[in-house]
Every structure is written in C-alpha cells, then in structure tokens.
Amino acid sequence: MKRMSITSWLWIVIGALYFLLPLIATADFSLRAEKDKLGFLAYQRVFADPKFISTFTFSLYISLITIVASIILVVPTAYWVRLRVPAFRRVFEFITLLPLIIPAVVLVFGLSRIYGKYPFQFMIETPALFVVGNVVFSLPYMYRSVDVGLRAIDVHTLTEAAQSLGASLPYTLFRVIFPNITVALLSGAFLTFAIVMGEFTMASLLVQPAFGPYMQLISSSKVYEPSAVAIISFLLTWMCTGAIQLLGRRAPGQTQIAGSR
Amino acid sequence: MSQRRINWDWLGIVPFLLFAVAFIFVPGLNIFVNSFRGPNDEFTLENIAGLFAQNIFDSFSVTVRISLASALLGGVLGLLVAYALVIGGAPRIVRTLFMTFSGVASNFAGVPLAFAFISTLGRLGLATYLLKLIGIDIYANGFNLYGFWGLVLTYTYFQMPLAILVFAPPLEGLKKQWREAAESLGANSWQYWRFIGLPILLPAMLSVFILLFGNAFGAYATAYALTGGQINLVPLVIARQISGDVLNNQGFGSALALGMIVMMAITITLYSMLQNRTAKWLK
C-alpha cells in the first residue's frame, strides 16, 4: 500500500469537515437549552410534546401502509414480468424510474387537481392521497431492491418446482418467492420508511399531521428543539441506512438517492 | 383451437398499470392539458407565455443557477474526495467510513438539513463563530444563509456524498495497467491524466453533474425550510399555486409544473445517454 499524499489527506479532511461540522454544530446547539450547561433538556421537551408523539406516530402508520402497498404493487408485478411478460420489462422499469424525475411538488400539484374534487374528494380529505403519493415515490427504491432480489434467485426453476408439487400461483408467490427475497424486501422497506418519515413536501401541501411539517412548525416557535429534532431525524436516517447496509451486499454506486429534498 | 392462442399473461400487470396510469400519467396529462387551457376551457398559449414573464423567468433562472452551482461544487468536491479515497490510497477504514457516511448524508435533506445549516452557518452558527475567531466575518462580507450561496452550500451537503458514491466505481475502474502502460511509454502524470484518465472519466463526470443538477432542481423542502419561501425557486412558486391563495390560476400553475417536467426530462435524457457511454468503460 502506497502512502497517502498530503493533497489526498487534505481533501479527506475537507470532506470530513463538511460532513461533520453541521452535525456537530446541530448537536452542540441542541444540548444548550439550559443556560451555561450542556444537557438533554431540549430532547426531553421534544419527547414530552404531544404533537411530536402524534405526528411521529402518524408518519409511522403512513410509512407502514406505504411499505405494504408498495410491496403488494411491485413484487407480484416484478415476478410476473420476469416469469411471463419479459417484453413489458423496459416499460415497467421506465415507469418505476419516473418518480425520480418528477419533483414532489409537481406530482402533488397534478394529484390534487384531479383527486381534490368530486367524486374523489375523499382522497384529499383522508390521508389516502398522501399514501398514494408516498407509494409513487417509493416505487424506484422498492423496484430496484426487489429486482436485485429476484435476479439473485432462479424465478423460473423455483416456480416450476413449486407448481410441479401442486402449488397454486398465489401460493408460489407468497410461500416461495417472498421468503426468498426477504432481504431485498427489507432493504426496500427501510428506504421507504426513511423517505416517508422525513417527507415534508407532500405532507405540508396536502396538510397532513405528519412528522415533516411538525419539524418545520416547531422552528417558528422554539429555539433549541428544532436542533434536537434534526438530530433525532438524522439518527433515524442513520438507522435505516445502517440496517440496509447490514442487510444487503449492495455494491457501492448502487446506493440509492432518497429523501425529501 | 384459435381461442388457445390468446395470451392472457398480460392481465397480471394490469393492477400496476392502473396504478401508474391513475396516479402518474393522468396527473401528468392533466398538467399538460391544463397548461394550454384558459379560464373558459378554451385553448390558449397564454399560460406558456406567462412562463417568460420577467418574475417567472427569474425564478427559473435562479433555480437553474443554484442547481448548477451546487452541482458543480458538490461534483468537484465529491470527485476530489472520491479520488483521495480510491486512488490516493486512503486506509480501508477511512474509505468504508466515508462510503457509509455518504450513503446516509445523501439521504439527509429537507427540514432537518436546513436546521443543521442554521446551526452551522447562521448568524449564531458554529462555523460563523469559528470563522470570526480567525478574523473572517462572513456576514459582514455579505454572506446570507437564506440567499443564493447559503442554499448552494446547504444543497452541497447532499450533493457531495452523492457524487462520492457515484464517482467511486468509475475511479476504481481506472486500471492500474493503463497508468503503467502510459508510464512505460514515457508519459508523465499530467499526460496520463490529459490523454487517458480524464477522457475515460469525462462521461462519468458529466453524468454526475447532470444527476446532481436534477437533484437540486426539484428540491423543495430544504429551500422552503431554510428560507421560509423568501427565495423564488420554481418549486416554491408552484407550491404557492397549490396552497391556493387568491391569486391562484390553475392554468398557469400547470404551465409552471410543465416547465419543470420539461427541464427534468431534458436532464434525464442527457443523463441516460451519457450513462450508456460510461457503462462501456466499466466492463
């Protein structure tokens, strides 16, 4: 191993500073709620805030529903495309990548124009449209995770084996295919979870009592709590990314872009 | 007999297609149609023409400039760090740490990121304070976190790690033999980069740049949380149309959204064209 040059070290240090300084600054600020003393007061206040608990729980529910809906939508289709309609594969890929290029603002605009009025207004009056929007934005991540999973197993042989033993198609899908791509499903699920928990754009434009708008809301009335919430949110992202990296042997470069920018 | 020839397999993809049509294509089509529709349902080009009104044109212009600047800054920093990590011979542990952290940081955006930068580069921020200690008062020199450069620096926080992640594989793909071959033929370091390294990396560099541009262009949450809507980025302008103030004009809102879709479509087309070129070298 050759020795690292000074310039290489310099860039590493600059990169590390850029990464760490904002986190250190935020963490430091979040600990200063009590005068002249470092402490967790801001965190205690956040955790004691009923709005924190209610918005966090709300986003938690929405993310679980989104994950289930996204899996139900993507896995059978991806399986079926691989098995029977490979001609559709490119179209399927294209559709699942579309949400990456549609800004959230634009999608919400389009959705609320249609589903915000008769006879669909129930969708905007309930969290239904919010869930739909989240499912749309989970598609790229879910599809790519599932695709990696399906590529690793021999879908055709597994299906033939299951069917020659008398399994029906749904049985094959749920009892043979699903268990074989658990890791892929989990990594898709964690990514979706991270996206939905931090989702701000759609939640605020659709006026949902979600965690994202809550973070924004407290910044107007509180001083130290926003930093504490930012750290909590960062830890949440860390946990999800950590879980994905532990689970998957995903090569670098295949790492996904997610989150509400 | 002929009945058996009908292939019913495509039925299996109908649920997915229905979802995509209902919640992606119909809204898209709606935006497109409404962009050309006047208040009395007549065809009009007025909404599109409205995009070129001074204030809207300025919005597009500042959004593009912020996206370009943050793509350039994030891309160059990301390239240099990735170079130091991959080719500069950073210890394995440093490399793993950086790659993992990049995975997290590229997902760290929106409201919490805005807070993090307020704590860092705000008037009372840590970096502002540290810089003042060494005699640099950024606010006295016209810096404003809620303005152009503030946004660029904040966006760079998720741009740079993304660039690191995307640059690592092509840098790893630069084979040591190529350099050795060049050196044995008498090339110096500059010549190696000028005639071999850079031409090979160029498509990757351009595609990273485009990716980062698109990434910043659609950003809403970060900008909103940071500036409170003070800066007129296109996503913020569209959002105001949705929130439905008195002035809202659905046709014009649609035209704005269409403008963004067109920008993103151009971006992604360029990206995929370059991606195909890069892929050739990475085999």
- Burial of A222 (C-beta count, 10 Å sphere; 0-12/13-18/19+): middle
Query: Which segment, A12-21, A94-103, B270-279, is predicted with the most confidence on average?
Result: A12-21
Mean per-residue pLDDT, A161-182? 91
Q: Rounded to an integer, what distance in angstroms lies between the CA atom of residue B85 and that of residue A188? A: 28
Nearest-CA distance B251 → chain A (Å): 11
Domains assigned to chain B: 46-281 (1.10.3720.10)
Mean per-residue pLDDT, A190-212? 92
Nearest-CA distance A190 → chain B (Å): 12
Per-residue confidence (pLDDT) for residue A199, from 0 to 100: 92
Nearest-CA distance B273 → chain A (Å): 15
Nearest-CA distance B269 → chain A (Å): 10
| Residue A120 in contact with partner chain B when CB distance is under 8 A | no
Tell me which residue has tokens 């993507």.
A74
Q: Residue window 63-92, chain A: list those with CB within 8 Å of chain B.
A: 73-74, 76-77, 80-81, 84-85, 88, 92
| Residue A187 in contact with partner chain B when CB distance is under 8 A | no
Mean per-residue pLDDT, A22-50? 91
Per-residue confidence (pLDDT) for residue A157, from 0 to 100: 92
| DSSP string covering B70-105 | HHHHHHHHHHHHHHHHHTTT--HHHHHHHHHHHHHH
> Does the pLDDT value for residue A201 go beyond 50?
yes
Residues B206, B190: contact at Cβ < 8 Å?
no
Q: Rounded to an integer, what distance in angstroms lies between the CA atom of residue B216 and that of residue B69? A: 10
Interface residue of A1, A6, A19, A143 to substitute, partner B, most B CBs within 10 Å: A19
- Burial of B78 (C-beta count, 10 Å sphere; 0-12/13-18/19+): buried
Q: Rounded to an integer, what distance in angstroms lies between the CA atom of residue A88 and that of residue A218? A: 47
Closest to B34 in 3D by CA, of B24, B52, B48: B48
Per-residue confidence (pLDDT) for residue B283, from 0 to 100: 53
Where do the domains of chain A lie?
A: 35-247
- Chain A residues in contact with B264 (beta carbon < 8 A): 101-103
Q: Rounded to an integer, what distance in angstroms lies between the CA atom of residue B166 and that of residue A252? A: 8
H or E element: which one contains B18?
Answer: helix B14-20
ipTM for the predicted complex: 0.88
Per-residue confidence (pLDDT) for residue A187, from 0 to 100: 86
The mean pLDDT of chain A is 88
Q: What is the pLDDT along chain B (283 residues), one digit of tens a residue?
A: 445 567 788 888 999 999 999 999 999 999 999 999 888 888 989 889 989 999 899 999 999 999 999 999 999 999 999 999 998 888 889 998 898 888 888 878 889 999 999 999 998 899 999 999 999 899 988 888 988 999 999 999 999 999 999 898 888 888 888 888 988 998 888 888 888 888 888 888 888 898 899 889 989 999 999 988 788 899 998 888 877 654 567 788 899 999 999 998 888 888 888 777 766 665 5
Nearest chain B alpha carbon to A109:
B242
Interchain contact, B110 vs A252, CB within 8 Å = no
**Fold of domain A35-247:** MetI-like fold (1.10.3720)
